[in-house]
Amino acid sequence: MSASMQGKAAVVTGGGGAIGHAAAQCLAAAGADVMLVDIDAAALAGKRAALAARGVRAETFVADVSKAGDVAAYVARALAVFGRIDAFFNNAGIEGKLGPTYEYDEEEFDRIIAVNLKGVFLGLRHVLPVMLRQGGGAVVNTGSIASERGLAGACAYNASKHGVIGLTRTAASEVGPQGVRVNAVMPGVVDTPLLEAMLRMMFNGDLDAGKRALGRVATLERIGAPAEIGEVATFLLSDASSFVNGAAWAVDGGALSTIRH
Ligand SMILES: NC(=O)c1ccc[n+]([C@@H]2O[C@H](COP(=O)([O-])OP(=O)(O)OC[C@H]3O[C@@H](n4cnc5c(N)ncnc54)[C@H](O)[C@@H]3O)[C@@H](O)[C@H]2O)c1
């Protein structure tokens, strides 16, 4: 079975960003109606029309995933527009500042955890009841290769992404018996604004050197494209992955599969 999303309604957080938008394009190409959610109204501008051009219903909604009221509002809007939520890409995230754990700023730690971990929890907290009422649905949370390895200088990001996998496995075990699936993707190094923000901090602004260096963590010896994450997320959100639940899928060019030396 191929990854058809015909007749399904999808919500994508971080939909104004690179991976969220790429996933939305894949979902729309597979036939899904899509709502993009993002805190950045400017990032959403124009994206609704680009999706609607594929012949699906498209919506955008400005919301902060770390605020329960905003999450309730985007879920209510999706239900008002589509009547259901079949697929939920719980993807918004921020990189935050870099610094060693023993000097890390407490407020920055809280800010990153609020978006990357609590935001994913709030998404599950508000979308899963909808899917349970419907008797079905699929969720994909966005982890990272930093969900499975330490990442020097990024304690909050790293902890948040480990936590996303815990949320994924726990929620999957709770709702699987009722026909709702929860999985995660763990992107490797992907060419997005978030990566560029990190590289600016790590490589003194030399983006090309940073991309070459980080490409080498993958056995494919390159960084990934947002659409390569979007395709796997779409597969996990579709019935083509109907026997996959609680899984954390590395989409990382092989980075987690070996120790490069
Ligand atoms: N780019 C990479 O190399 C990489 C690697 C592993 C994991 N990831 C993860 O992929 C996901 C998407 O990141 P991306 O690379 O597409 O970056 P991106 O910066 O292009 O997209 C992230 C989007 O999330 C939005 N966002 C930030 N805070 C928000 C909030 N509080 N509420 C709602 N929206 C908010 C941003 O406005 C942005 O549009 C993130 O969870 C990130 O941690 C990225």
Does 192 map to a domain? yes
Atom of ligand 1 nearest to the CA of 66: 31
Compute the distance from residue 225 Cα to the ligand 1 centre, in Å: 14
CA-nearest of 166, 153, 62 to 112 is: 153
Q: How far apart are CA 258 and CA 261, in angstroms?
A: 9
Which pLDDT band holds residue 201 (cuts at 50, 70, 90)?
A: confident
Q: From the CB of 41, is ligand 1 less than 6 Å away?
A: no
Q: Mean pLDDT throughout 217-227? A: 97
- Specify the pLDDT at position 2: 64
φ/ψ of 9, rounded to 5, equals -115, 130
- Specify the pLDDT at position 59: 97
Domains: count for the chain = 1
Compute the distance from residue 177 Cα to the ligand 1 centre, in Å: 31
Q: From the CB of 17, is ligand 1 less than 6 Å away?
A: yes
Atom of ligand 1 nearest to the CA of 142: 41
Q: Above pLDDT 70, what percent of the chain?
A: 99
Q: Is the pLDDT of residue 234 over 90?
A: yes
pLDDT, one tens digit per residue, over 77-115 is 999 999 999 999 999 999 999 999 999 999 999 999 999
Does 4 map to a domain? no
Q: From the CB of 51, is ligand 1 less than 6 Å away?
A: no
φ/ψ of 54, rounded to 5, equals -85, 0
CA-nearest of 173, 171, 143 to 159 is: 143
Q: From the CB of 217, is ligand 1 less than 6 Å away?
A: no
- Specify the pLDDT at position 202: 86
SS3 assignment, position 77: helix
Atom of ligand 1 nearest to the CA of 64: 32
Q: From the CB of 183, is ligand 1 less than 6 Å away?
A: no
Which two tokens mark 85? 């939520």
Does 23 map to a domain? yes
Q: Please give the residue range of the domain that contains residue 130.
A: 9-253
Which pLDDT band holds residue 194 (cuts at 50, 70, 90)?
A: confident
Exposure string for 77-113, b = 16+ CB within 10 A, e = fewer? bbeeebebbbbbbbbbbbbbbbbeeeebeeeebebbb
CA distances from 232 to 42, 89, 118, 127, 227 (A): 27, 11, 24, 21, 9
Does 1 map to a domain? no
pLDDT, one tens digit per residue, over 243-257 is 999 999 999 999 999
Q: What is the DSSP letter of 116?
A: I
Q: Is the pLDDT of residue 1 over 60?
A: no
pLDDT, one tens digit per residue, over 27-51 is 999 999 999 999 999 999 999 999 9
Read off the amino acid at residue 127.
V
Asked if 260 and 217 touch (Cβ cutoff 8 Å), the reply is yes
Does 245 map to a domain? yes
Compute the distance from residue 247 Cα to the ligand 1 centre, in Å: 21
Does 259 map to a domain? no
- Closest residue to atom 17 of ligand 1, CA basis: 194
HSE-CB of 84 using CA atoms within 13 angstroms: 14
Quick check: is 74 catalytic?
no
Does 2 map to a domain? no
Q: What is the CATH number of the domain that holds 245?
A: 3.40.50.720
pLDDT, greater one: 3 or 186? 186
CA distances from 121 to 46, 118, 199, 229 (A): 29, 5, 28, 21
- Closest residue to atom 18 of ligand 1, CA basis: 17
249 DSSP β-pair partners: 185
- Closest residue to atom 43 of ligand 1, CA basis: 93
Does 27 map to a domain? yes
Q: How far apart are CA 233 and CA 223, in angstroms?
A: 18
Q: How far apart are CA 101 and CA 73, in angstroms?
A: 35
Least confident of 115-119, 138-142, 156-160, 191-195: 191-195
